[in-house]
Structure 1
Amino acid sequence: MIGTGPTREIVDWERTTEDGTTVYVIEYDEPVPEPSLRSGTLFGASSGGTVPEADRRITLPDGEQLPADEVVFDADGAVLEVRHEGSSLLRRIRRTLFPWW
């Protein structure tokens, strides 16, 4: 689950839609850093081995999983805002023509 850990738990969360974009506002019991899921490399570390960056997913409080390269984060103290930007045409073309990249 995004943002949780051994000492950080979710207190409350809300899923809304703003201008056609899905937004999750998640409140934790302590300050949360802005996640850094994107890297400059093709492969990123993950439990069980490496996963192509385009295949990384995040799990939200309602169980929905979103591709990590389609979300934008904004952290403010103990509140994390997760905005699902969706897949751009360029991303879809890249995934189709160059699935390893």
Structure 2
Amino acid sequence: MIGTTGDREIVDWRKTTEDGETVYEIEYDGPAPTLTGRSKSLFGASSGGTVPAGEQYYQLPDGEEIAATEAAFEADGHTLRVRRQRSLVARLRRYLPW
């Protein structure tokens, strides 16, 4: 889950909507983590092996999950903003009949 580390705790969070997209604003008791997302192909799991990009996700405070390939982050002081940023391919699939 985003925010669960040994050196910082979530103080407050809220779910808002901007331009029709859901945005999570997560406030920490210290500086917000700088997240950049995970590799869009594969990454090495700590137990060995790999996890396909389609199975990587971030879990948000309310339990919603966002695919790691679709997550966008903005850190500002103690606040982390998380939004879903769908790939161009995912957006095209919504409109094309294939």
TM-score range, shorter chain: 0.7 to 0.9
Q: Which residue of 2 aligns with 1:46?
A: 45
Offset at residue 32 of structure 1 (A): 1.9
Q: Which residue of 2 aligns with 1:64?
A: 64
What is the alpha-carbon distance in structure 2 between the residues aligned to residue 16 and residue 57 of structure 1?
20
Contact 1:71 1:84 in 2 (8 A): yes
TM-score (norm 2): 0.79
Contact 1:3 1:35 in 2 (8 A): no
Structure 2 segments unaligned to the other structure (5+ residues):
93-98
Per-residue CA distance 1:24-46 (angstroms, 9 max, x = gap): 00001110232122326x31133
Tell me the amino acid that sits aligned with residue 39 of structure 1. S
TM-align CA RMSD: 2.2
Contact 2:36 2:72 in 1 (8 A): no
What is the alpha-carbon distance in structure 2 between the residues aligned to residue 34 and residue 66 of structure 1?
17
